[in-house]
Every structure is written in structure tokens, then in C-alpha cells.
Chain A
Amino acid sequence: MEKSKISNNLLYSQQHFDLLIKLYRTTFDDSTTLEKIYDVITEVAVEGLNVDRASFWKITKDKLICINMFDRETGLHSIEKDLFTEDYPIYFKALREGIAIVADDAQSNRYTAERKDTYLRPKGIKDIIDLPIRENGKLTGVLSCENRDDSPVWSDSDLTFARSIADILSLMRENNKRRDITLKLRESERKLRLITQNSNDGFVVFENKHITYISPSYLDLLGYTEEEAAKLTFNDIIKSIHREDVKRVVAFIDDNIAKKARHFKVEFRFRGKNGRYFWREDTSNVLYDEKGQYDKHIVISRDISKLKKAEHGIQKLYTILKSQNEKLLDFTHIISHNIRSNTSNMSMLIDLIEETGDTDEKEEYFKLLKQSNNKLSETIRYLNETISLQLNSNELKVELNVKTEIEKVLLSVNGIIKKEKVEIRIDIPKDLVIKTVPSYFESIMFNLICNGIKYRSPDRSPVVNIKVVKGDSKYVFTVRDNGLGIDMGRNKEKIFGMYRTFHGNKDAIGLGLFMTKNHVEALGGNIEVESKVGKGSEFKFILHE
């Protein structure tokens, strides 16, 4: 027989079967080294095939290197000398072609005859089976079984058995390579444990979506015990990610693994055992096996809640500063324009006064000069107050009884109230107390009340309603009049004075609602107005607790 097709369908003999079981048990024990496997395989081959010698050889480009050889007679393992390609070209060619050489008549067999004089005859070998050993489809070695006496022809069962042993050997070699890596990783995991013990970052190793290693720090991060964490699957982890982040995170991870990325980072909100979400940054290091397939990944988790908070804080601060800057620019513009308008008018009036001889005219101009001067003063006063407002925004908040304070303000404008016959209606809880800056609060109420009086209608008796209501963690102040009302369409900007021209020389009393708005906002509140021409206006501002 020169070449034999070894059929997989044949049954083993009982003896063969027993030996294979023994082999399986030995070789799949994790602690078995490759050396031991070679020992066992060669021994099993000898016994199962009833041959004198069995050996495993590694094949390189130019030679066969004997790794392990078992001799039945001596019962010992040893190593044969290397066999070189140049010496046995036909033999090597056959091996490399993947041919399983079954030579009953080794010394004359076409493939093995080359070795007759140098190897077979000296050792008295009559029969050989050479089986190719492959790893990942590549020929890496040969399992050689040699017999000395003229024994019967190999049976199909023999051949099947031989093939099985060769397969097992191939598998073990492949496995062992992986097991080497596993050992290496176990080493590095041991190292990791040492490192992670002293780090706040959590380390976790995922294999096939299961956790195979968790650092103590990771347990702390999540609030789980080791037992609880060991039961966690990849899906459990996914379920704990905030629903707004989960889609993005899963897509990102899948994408990176598809791209065979080795290193990537992702941020998301995660819910630990206590149910609370915290911001977490995971850095993943992915390991791929020899075939380039995903093997496992090591994730380093970091709690970045503080960082996120700081980020938010900075963003908020930036927004505030930006808006303050804009306000300042606006404000600067308004002030400088107002100052210049007034001084320009004054200088023009002075020119006119100089140029005219007419006393009546001079008097007229003087009146206007006075007006301009007043306006200028008002602008300067306004400027001063705003500056001091900005500087003193952290002015002390004090507890005030709202009703008492408002009554104080009403007292200060009592003269006008009496003169204009204004009816004041108050709807304020007697015991309502708020914590606020007294001077600002006074100023706000003063301006609003004066406004209510100023915009009275000649057609009806003026009534000003003042109402204060407590909402949830806020206070709502309403000042309503039944006066002229304001055309909201046209004048919406004018009311709180946000356009660039100052308004009202009739306004000798207050500093305008622009100031009021500033004061309210300095207290952290907001103000709005509703008005209807012919009906009246309602100013509403809210202060928070």
C-alpha cells in the first residue's frame, strides 16, 4: 500500500477507543504541559498501533527536528537526530504535499526508500506510518510510527486511530499556544491586581461578554460585592447605562470592534448598585487572537462625575460671563450715548443763548438747558447706581416682612398718593417673610408703585393693586394699575428701557424701569409686564427662595 485514504467512518476497536479516552483525559487537563502531551501521545501511539517506536517531529524549511521519541523496548523517551531535506528530497516532498505515508515495506516504499541505508536498515525498521501534523491548516510536523518486525498489514481501524492521534496532537499544539497566552494573561492579571489595588480606577476584563476579572476598585465604583459582580454579564452592564447614552455607547463599541480598534474611550452615565447615575469614562483595550478575532477586552473605568460637574460649572460660568459682557457693552453704549446727547444739547443751547439778544428767547433756552442738565444728572446717577449694584451684588440678604416693607414705601410716596387721590389696595399675607437685599427690594417696589401712579388715566380714579403670593420655592409680586395702559406692540422695548435712547424728562421721580429690571435680576428673579391700552398695566416679578 502506497497511499491510503483514511476513512473517518470506521469504528475504532475497543482497545483503540479506551486509549483515546485516556488520551483525552490527559491532554485536556489544564495543568498538562506540552512535553507531557508528547510523552503520552507517543506512548499511546505505540500501544494502540502495536508498533515499536513513535515519534513526533517538527518540520522546518530544511529539516525535521525530533521533539519526542518513545521506544517500546526501552520504555524510554529520547530524541533522534535531525533529518535534512537535502538528504531525503522525495520523502520531504511527500510530507510537504501532505501525504500520509503508510509504508508496509518501508525499505522499498517509494517515499521512504531514501532513508533505507541511513535510517531504516540500521534501526531495523520495516514499517512506517507518517502522519502530517497541521496547525491552522499549515503543516508543522510529523507523527511517525515505526515497526521493526514483519507485522500484519495496517488495518483501517489502525489507520483511523492513527489519524485521530495526529488530530489530537494538532489540536493540543494549537491549544497550547493559546494556553501559553492564557498563562501570560494570567500573569498580567496578577500584575493588574497589584496595580489596581492602589488605583481608584476600576479594572475589568471581558471575555465573550462575560467578566473574567474585576478589580476591587471596580467593585467599589459600582457598589457590588465580588459575588454579585461575578454574575454580571455584558448585558447587565448595558442595562445600567443611562437611556440617553446607551445607544451611542453600544454603537461606538460595536463600531470600534468592527474596525478592530485596539484602544478607545467612551463617556456615559452609569447606574451602580445604589441606583444613582454617575458619569463614567471607560478606556477599552481590546486583545485579538492570532486569527485577528476578538478575544477579550480590558476596560479601565473612571468615575468622572466631579470632572463633569466642573465642566458644567465652567460652561455655565462662560454663559453668564458672555451675557454679562453683552449687557455691559449694551450698558456702556447706552450710558455714553446719553451723556453725549445731553452734553451736546447743552453746548448747542449755550451757543443759542450767546447768539441771541432776546431775553424771552434766552429764558426759553435756559429752561431747556436746565432740562438737559437734569437729564445728564439723572444719567450719571443711574450710572452710579448700576455700578454699585454690580459691585455689591453679594450684598447681604436680610429677612424682611413683606407687608411692612411695602407699607414703608407707600409712606414715602404718601404725598403724591394723596395729591392724585390714588387708591392703594394691598393683598399681602401678614406674616410673609422673605430673605432679600432691603435696598433693592425697596427700589423695585418704589419704582413700580410710582409707575402705577404715573400712568393713571384721566378718565377714572386711579387704583393701584399690590399683591404678593407664595408659590413653590418662589414669591410672585404683582403691581396692577387701572391707568392708561401701554401699547405693548410698539413699546415693548421701551418699557424696560433696553433701547438706546433714554426716555422721559417728565420722569423726575424714578430712575426708570430699566433700573427695576436690573434690581430684580440682581436678586436672581425676573420681571414682566402685561398691559392693555385703556385698561391698565400689570407688572409681575418673581423672586426665588
Chain B
Amino acid sequence: MNDLTYIIDDDSIFVFVFKKILKKNDETREIVNLQNGQDAINVLQTIYDKKQKLPDVIFLDLNMPVLDGWQFLDELEKLPFKDQLKIYIISSTIDINEIEKAKNYSSVKSFISKPINSVELARILETD
């Protein structure tokens, strides 16, 4: 309920569609879109410092400018609030190595492959 949801992805079409799907899954969601890993780190850091609400769930793309998904996760490792976050990597990659790599980060709960539909999304979110 009223989950604060971050989508860290710079693909505007995907973000638009995914927002729709997320809303379908839970109308009350509050959704914030960040364009790249650097923006995300900055925003999270600010929130934490101001003792504001951290997101309940984060959907993270891998391919972004400035700081991509992996770089974001690496930066996150250094931060004190990393274990308070629930992250789902969502990417169109088919590279097995990348899917395996996701398991190295404790804050990453699961790896979601694009494209995704609402049924799959519901299933994944429920299993948590």
C-alpha cells in the first residue's frame, strides 16, 4: 500500500508502459523515475540525510548513461542504507553472465527480463 516505487531507467517509452503496469498492479503506488544511476545515488543520499522515506522498491535498468546499473550497485555498496532497499533489476539483456552477476548484490532481490507483463510482475512481487 502506498509503496514508494523508483524506476531507474532512461528509456522513456519503457518507463511510460511500466508505470501503467505498476499502477495496474497497485493503484496507490507512488512512482518516481530517475534517468540514470548517478541521479539515483544523489537522490537516495539526500533522502537518507534528511531522514525522509526511502523507496519501498526499486526497479533498476542496467544500460544508462553517466552511471549504469552495475555502477549504481557498486556505489550503493558503500552506503549505509543499502540493506534497507529492495531492488529488482529489470533489463532486456540475455547475457547469462549478467544474470549471474546480479546474485552478487545482497540488495538485489530478483532479475526481471524485459518485456514483462502485469501477470508476471504480480507473481514476482508476491513471492517477496
Contact = CB atoms under 8 A, between A and B. Distances in A.
Interface of A: 337, 340-341, 344-345, 347-349, 351-352, 355, 368, 371-372, 490-491, 493-494, 499-501, 505
B114 A340 contact: yes
B10 A501 contact: yes
B92 A337 contact: yes
A337 B13 contact: no
A355 B68 CA distance: 32
Contacts of A355: 118
B64 A501 contact: yes
Interface in B52-104: 63-66, 68, 92-94
Contacts of A491: 65
Contacts of B115: 344-345, 347-348, 351
A368 B20 CA distance: 13
Contacts of A493: 65-66
Contacts of B1: none
A23 B55 CA distance: 113
Given A371-B13, A493-B65, A501-B10, A341 B117 contact: no
Given A345-B115, A348-B14, A500 B68 contact: yes
A501 B116 contact: no
8 contacts: A340-B92, A340-B94, A341-B114, A345-B11, A348-B14, A348-B116, A493-B65, A494-B65
The 9 lowest CB-CB distance pairs between A and B, nearest first, are A344-B115, A340-B92, A344-B114, A500-B63, A347-B115, A348-B17, A348-B115, A345-B13, A499-B65
A351 B117 contact: yes
A501 B13 contact: no
A377 to B, nearest CB: 14
B11 A501 contact: yes
Interface string B1-40: 0000000001111101110110000000000000000000
A341 B92 contact: yes
Given A345-B115, A352-B17, 11 more contacts: A337-B93, A345-B13, A349-B17, A351-B115, A352-B20, A352-B21, A355-B118, A372-B13, A490-B66, A499-B64, A500-B68
Nearest to B24: A355
A345 B63 contact: no
> Taking each of B12, B14, B118, which has the highest tally of chain A beta carbons within 10 Å of its own beta carbon?
B14
A348 B92 contact: no
Contacts of A499: 63-65, 68
Contact of A368 (B17, B21, B92): B17
Contacts of A500: 63, 68
Contact of A345 (B17, B64, B94): B17
A340 B115 CA distance: 9
A491 B66 CA distance: 8
A351 B116 CA distance: 10
Nearest to A489: B66
A345 B115 CA distance: 7
A493 B115 CA distance: 27
Contacts of B94: 340
A351 B20 CA distance: 11
A10 to B, nearest CB: 97
A493 B65 CA distance: 8
Contacts of A340: 92-94, 114
Contacts of B12: 505
A505 B13 CA distance: 10
Nearest to A490: B66
B63 A337 contact: yes
Nearest to B115: A344
B105 to A, nearest CB: 19
Given A368-B16, A368-B17, A499-B65, A348 B117 contact: yes
B24 to A, nearest CB: 8
Contact of B14 (A341, A351, A494, A505): A341
Contacts of A352: 17, 20-21
A345 B90 CA distance: 13
A505 B17 CA distance: 16
B84 to A, nearest CB: 28
Nearest to A336: B94
Contacts of A351: 115, 117
A341 B11 contact: yes
B13 to A, nearest CB: 5
